[in-house]
Amino acid sequence: MRRLRLLRPWEWIGYLAAVIVFAIACVYLSQWQFDRREQAVEQIDKVQTNWSAETTDIDSLVPQIDAFDDALEYRSVTLTGVYEQQRQVLVRNRPLNGSPGFEVLVPLRLDDGRVFFVDRGWVASASDGGTPDVPDAPTGEVTVVVRLKPAQPAVDRGAPEGQIASFELTQLVADGEAEATFTGAYGQRQSETPAAAENPQVIPQPSLSEGSHLSYALQWLAFAVLAFVGFGYAIRATLRRIEDTGGSEIEAQRRRRVGRSRADADTEVEDAILDRTH
């Protein structure tokens, strides 16, 4: 009972509550990392599956001009038409391999009159921060193989003339062409025939690395376990300290009792001697 009293139970209950809260937070963060890993694995599977799929025509994969199935991202299609170079725009804030730059978006008017936006590739930002030089698209009829990408929502950011902040395609639809312009998806150029003398850099295949999510998830679980291990170790160390301190106190009390007994005995002897002398 003495050891339990010295442990101060209410104080240790508070410590235990803090450990439990910390462990719950660790488990939550671990699950978050597991979820992120699952999303990364799903994305990798989609890239691998769609990247190697057979190239087909646009209508088989994008039957509606204003909608797109994200599960078909990175599938390749063949398009034939004429680039409308005068309507080219640069999509800003598009880094590649750590370098700032733009992606070059040009409308391609298909043989049937519909318009499909082609991302011809990436160009680095100008050294002075201005608009970079961009190679022109080939003139005349061209056959382009592109990989499909979903259009993006609008963002609350402005852009200089000739540039846009995201692949939000409805802003690029010309007057009277809403019914004939694809706004649900665009395509990243893979090849052109005939090819231009100079082209922007082709956007590479996305990374197939799932990142460090699994190791982070396991680390958070380890932290949760270690919190309880540390709590148990602290209790054990405290009990040992109490045990060592308690033994010393008992010995000191015994010595004090012996000292008092001897003093009392001496006092009694002195009293007896005094009584006999009187």
What are the sequence ranges of the domains in the chain? 1-52+210-258, 75-193
CA angle 82, 47, 38 (to 5 degrees): 145
- Distance CA(132)–CA(126), nearest Å, equals 5
> What stretches in the chain show pLDDT beneath 70?
1-8, 129, 245-278
**How does DSSP classify residue 139?**
P
What is the pLDDT at residue 108? 97
What is the pLDDT at residue 128? 77
- Distance CA(144)–CA(119), nearest Å, equals 11
What is the pLDDT at residue 264? 56
What is the pLDDT at residue 266? 53
- Distance CA(137)–CA(189), nearest Å, equals 11
Q: Tokens 């339990």 identify what position? A: 4
Q: Judge if pTM exceeds 0.85.
A: no
What is the pLDDT at residue 277? 55
SS3 66: coil
44 token code pair = 């990798």
What is the pLDDT at residue 269? 46
What is the pLDDT at residue 10? 75
What is the pLDDT at residue 158? 81
One-letter identity of residue 228 = F
Q: Can you give the length of the chain in residues?
A: 278
**How does DSSP classify residue 177?**
-
What is the pLDDT at residue 4? 47
